Amino acid sequence: MFTLLNLITMLVVGAMILGFIAGSSMFLIWGERKVSARIQSRLGPMRVGWQGLLQSVADAIKLLLKEDIMPTGVDKWVWQLAPFFAAVPSVMAFVVIPFGKNLIVKDLNVGILYITSITSICVLGIFMAGWSSNNKYSLLGGIRSAAQIISYEVPLILSIITVVMFTGSLSMQKIVEEQSKYWFILRPNLAVAFLIYMISALAEVNRTPFDIPEAESELVAGYHTEYSGIRFAMFFVAEYTNLFIISAVAATLFLGGWQGPVLPPVLWFLLKTYGIVFILMWVRWSFPRVRVDQLMSFTWKVLTPIAFLNLIISGWILVR
Amino acid sequence: MELPVREEEKNIHSEECYMNMGPQHPSTHGVLHLELKLDGEVVVDSIVHIGYLHRSMEKIAENRTYTQFIPFTDRLDYVSAMNNNLGYCLAVEKLMNMDVPLRAKYIRVIAAELNRIASHLIAIGSFAQDLGALATPLFYCFRERELILDIFDEICGNRLTYNYMRIGGVQFDLPDGIDKKIQDFIKCMRSRIKEYIDLLSYNVIFLARTKDIGVLLKDKAVNYSVTGPNLRASGVRCDLRKDEPYLVYDKFQFDIPVADKGDVWDRYNIRIQEIEQSLRIIEQALAGLPEGNPTVKVGRIHKPPAGEVYLRTESPRGELGFYIVSDGSEYPYRLKIRAPSFSNLAVIPELIRGVKMADVVSILGSLDIVMGEIDR
Amino acid sequence: MKKYTNNLAAGIISLLKGMGVTLKNFFSPATTFQYPTQKLPMSPRFRGLVDLDPQKCVICYQCVKICPTGCLSIKHKELAEGKKALEVFKYKMEFCCFCGFCEQICPKGAIYMNKIYEVATYDHEQLYINLLNPKKYDEWANPTVK
């Protein structure tokens, strides 16, 4: 029965999650700048606040105060809705992320399936942005990005299915509880699945070395070139929220979620997630970019066959 | 077996689009205007437009004395200014049959080779950045370059436009303590080269972006008068420091790295190996530095006898040539500069025919051109 | 098949080596310094802006003749007994190419280059400097150290 107490609980938890997302994105943006700076032997933001912690706040204020320009000739409704299609699914995926033993908004029994289906909507946002800007370079960026994301969904889902086979359930809390003996990454076939998952997830969120649509490509400026101010901020926040989500899912599926000996579970979960976020940032600043056709040939000729092989071997191990 | 083309496909009208890789662009090195004709993603044809940085240096030279023109040579190839100074001063000295003290020759070799390392560091760093390794190799290369620029700052007082060589010698003698600084730099640089090789050279993504791309065959390279590391990457063993040694290069032992395929990776790898060889030369030069006074006082107005001279030296980009015609007065009658990047750039329309867009930037970065000396 | 796995293994190892290099640099100290609050001193031979010691000048016009861009200009007046006195010594800073010829050719060391390197101004008039004024560089950043 749906009472007032339920409503208030939902609203309070929702507000907490949104607050956490905003704070986490700002922290991740600051973290990215600091990590990239230390790798490049320089210091990063240092002036605004202690060690530059308030730099993201200053950037957010700056973006909010910018003029809202809509170029002529754009497809009006599509152009205005595109940032929302990119940002909202990322926030929606937070419903099933297990922060602790009972700290999950709603433990759906199709947890991991829900996450993969919701994050697939992000492709729509990118493609809409590319199409509706009256700009042939944005269109090229949008098309490339759509092809990239759709192709990399296949190895991603295959590696997730490998994990689900070992637990027998799609629910996130059950997956974490299955790992109370030892974490899934310690099994060799699941370690391979972890690697495949990481590479596919990097390609899903358009990060280097797969960031062809987003970073300053050779000529074109990418699908979000016609956006400024708060709309651009939404794309930006969506990217970092996506980064957090894929790290959280990796920590849950492979590293044991919130399980750990001494510290409180929330702390373990955050430690593992931010550890994987650090590794992803480290990868970003180490490698050059892949070319578009090499990207596609890599996924269809290398990743997908290995993922299928891994699935068959895991099935054989389970049946034995 | 050829697949049969359907009737409808033959009637599809597809156009080629013209795209400008304009004068302002993050990936062209300087103000280069490349007009491309694209068919989808593949480049069909291209036209190169230059001249955006033309400062009429050759005309200015006709109204300046020989000593007064030296600061202008700094600004030709601003990345390796010592080599330009060197080429010009050697040309004027040959015209006047002037001899240079031995210590000055050794100091000139040290300065020129240090500048070769600095120039190759920029080439490698910006090439890696064009490929998408967002600024990490670039910062590492510039960190090493800062050490070289600090050494030059102590020697002559400036970091980029040195104005160090004079007609007959150099401006100042080496200050005290510079010996140790250069030795420290050599040690530091050797360990950093290993880092670059680990970070970039055999990285599988880097190899996929650079192997078998932009292949410049041997005969084409010679026909287009490509010189420098680009020519050596195509298999021609040609280096002016060994073929026609000037200064004291015949006293040092060093190798000339030559590759055989001529693709983008070879051009990059040769530059890394050349840095190592330059370090060897600097070590030998420091060890054998003789005593003497290498300085020249400014103020003498040189009046070379009437005649002409063409002298070429090996700059980091290729063969830099100075052609001076003198009519006996204090101003040159005609000064012509043969810039290596000008001939290297001429190969571009040939090399980028039929490659994808992403490779154009790769090829352009590997040729290592500087617009300052192309446009003069 | 064997070549395929060899290629894969070599690829992964190369990527890990690259990541090792960046990690090593992550833990090394930074090589930059915070510019407006920390400023490095310039080397002794550094060529900044042109400065003059009017007492030592013998008005030989050598610096004017050797300047490649013609940024110095002198006017003098004749006093009694063949002595000369400086009237005007103008320096057009926007033409100066900071080559250092004037400093090297001066027989008495009267004209020299100081250590000012922050030479951006808001006012165009500030670029025409009268070298005879002893307070000419007072409002510029950095002391005039010879």
Contact B360, B36 (CB under 8 A): yes
Residue pLDDT, tens place only, C64-74: 989 999 899 88
pLDDT > 90? residue A174: no
Instruction: List chain B residues with CB under 8 Å of C20.
Output: 198
Residue of B nearest to A293 (CA): B356
The SS3 assignment for B44 reads strand
CATH number for B57: 1.10.645.10
Give the CA-trace dihedral at A113, A114, A118, A119, to 10 degrees: -50
Contact A221, A212 (CB under 8 A): no
Q: Is residue B266 part of a domain?
A: yes
Same domain, C85 and C22: no
**Cross-chain Cβ contact B140/C25 below 8 Å:** yes
**Cross-chain Cβ contact B175/C45 below 8 Å:** yes
CB atoms within 10 A of CB A58: 14
Same domain, C102 and C63: yes
Residue B333 pLDDT level (bands cut at 50, 70, 90): very high
Residue B23 Rama label (left phi>0; alpha psi -120 to 50; beta): alpha
Same domain, C24 and C63: no
pLDDT score at B7: 55
CA pair distance B178, B85, nearest whole angstrom: 21
Q: Is residue B4 part of a domain?
A: no
Across residues B106-132, what is the average pLDDT?
90
Same domain, C10 and C64: no
pLDDT score at B338: 92
DSSP result, B200-216: IIT-HHHHHHHTTSS--
Domain tally, chain C: 2
In angstroms, the first-to-last Cα distance of chain A is 46
pLDDT score at B13: 62
pLDDT > 70? residue B191: yes
Contact A153, A304 (CB under 8 A): no
Across residues B361-370, what is the average pLDDT?
87
CA pair distance C23, A282, nearest whole angstrom: 8
Phi, psi of B318 (to 5 degrees): 145, -150
DSSP 8-state code for residue B319? E
Same domain, C16 and C76: no
DSSP 8-state code for residue B140? H
Domain tally, chain B: 1
Q: Is residue B5 part of a domain?
A: no
Same domain, C23 and C94: no
Same domain, C21 and C65: no
Same domain, C62 and C118: yes
**Cross-chain Cβ contact B203/C21 below 8 Å:** no
pLDDT > 90? residue B372: no
Residue pLDDT, tens place only, C32-91: 888 888 888 888 888 888 888 888 888 888 889 899 998 998 888 888 787 888 888 888
ipTM of the complex: 0.85
Pinpoint the alpha helices (H) of chain B: 7-10, 57-61, 70-74, 81-96, 102-130, 136-156, 178-196, 204-210, 218-223, 229-233, 240-243, 264-287, 340-345, 348-351, 357-367, 371-375
CATH number for C111: 3.30.70.3270
Contact B367, B27 (CB under 8 A): no
Give the CA-trace dihedral at B132, B136, B138, B140, to 10 degrees: -160
> Domain containing C17: what range?
1-31
* Residue ranges of domains in chain A: 1-65, 76-319
Q: Which chains touch B (3 or more CB pairs under 8 A)?
A: A, C
Contact B164, B156 (CB under 8 A): yes
CA pair distance B281, B114, nearest whole angstrom: 10
Integer Rg of chain A from CA: 20
> Domain containing B174: what range?
15-375
| Chain pair A-C, CB pairs under 8 angstroms | 35
pLDDT > 80? residue C1: no
Q: Is residue C118 part of a domain?
A: yes
pLDDT score at B113: 93
Whether B295 contacts chain C with CB within 8 A: no
Q: Is residue B227 part of a domain?
A: yes
Across residues A83-102, what is the average pLDDT?
86
Instruction: List chain B residues with CB under 8 Å of C21.
Output: 195, 198-199
Phi, psi of A17 (to 5 degrees): -65, -45
**Cross-chain Cβ contact B143/A286 below 8 Å:** no
Q: Is residue C143 part of a domain?
A: no
Residue of B nearest to C67 (CA): B68
Q: How confident is the prediction for chain B on average, in pLDDT?
A: 87
Contact B317, B344 (CB under 8 A): yes
Residue B1 pLDDT level (bands cut at 50, 70, 90): very low
Residue pLDDT, tens place only, B14-49: 667 777 777 777 666 778 888 888 877 788 888 888
| Chain pair A-B, CB pairs under 8 angstroms | 68
Same domain, C63 and C123: yes
Residue of A nearest to B28 (CA): A218
Residue pLDDT, tens place only, B41-87: 788 888 888 888 899 999 999 999 999 999 999 898 889 899 999 99
Residue A288 has its nearest CB partner, among B19, B206, B359, at B206
pLDDT score at B119: 92
Instruction: List chain A residues with CB under 8 Å of B126.
Output: none
Q: How confident is the prediction for chain A on average, in pLDDT?
A: 85
**Cross-chain Cβ contact A39/C18 below 8 Å:** no
* DSSP H/E element including A176: helix A172-178
How far is the alpha carbon of C50 from chain B, nearest alpha carbon, in Å? 14
CB atoms within 10 A of CB A85: 20
Residue C30 has its nearest CB partner, among A35, A42, A285, at A42
Across residues B90-95, what is the average pLDDT?
91
Residue pLDDT, tens place only, A194-223: 999 999 998 888 887 787 776 655 555 677
CA pair distance A107, A87, nearest whole angstrom: 22
